[in-house]
């Protein structure tokens, strides 16, 4: 009888941990964080000089109150590049500058690998 009670208590404790994570994240669904990130291109003299027609790629956090911790994959000519772009995008701030859309006349873009709401201080 004692063993079954311990097992049941263990299951209850695991369920409580899943329901109330100790990460300090915002109360909203973490999977939804990526939906608040959007990409845009802007005319930029440096990017145009690097490769004619190149623009600056930027990312916006469209959430009204929460910062979003992100991890992006950079693609050059549709090939994922080594390393990742990481950081925290604060709400209502200027967009995060990512880089030029053209490098050596070849296309470059970024895609969200993962994102989560955070209450950590922004960089």
What's the pLDDT tens digit per position in 51-107? Answer: 999 999 999 999 999 999 999 999 999 999 999 999 999 998 899 999 999 999 999
The reply to whether 68 falls in a domain is yes
The number of domains in the chain is: 1
Whether 123 is in a domain gets the answer no
Strand partners, 88: 69
Domain-embedded: residue 78: yes
Question: Is 19 part of any domain?
Answer: no
Is 2 part of a structural domain of the chain?
no
Q: Is residue 16 part of a domain?
A: no
Q: What percent of the chain stands above pLDDT 70?
A: 72
């Amino acid at each position: 009888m004692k063993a079954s009670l311990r097992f049941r208590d263990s299951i209850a404790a695991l369920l409580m941990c899943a329901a109330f994570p100790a990460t300090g994240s915002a109360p909203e669904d973490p999977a939804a964080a990526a939906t608040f990130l959007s990409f845009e291109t802007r005319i930029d003299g440096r990017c145009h000089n690097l490769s004619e027609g190149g623009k600056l790629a930027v990312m916006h956090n469209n959430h009204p109150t929460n910062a979003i911790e992100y991890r992006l994959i950079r693609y050059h000519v549709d090939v994922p590049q080594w390393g990742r772009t990481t950081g925290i995008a604060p709400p209502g701030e200027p967009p995060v500058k990512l880089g030029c859309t053209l490098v050596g006349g070849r296309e470059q873009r970024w895609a969200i690998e993962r994102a989560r709401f955070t209450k950590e201080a922004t960089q």
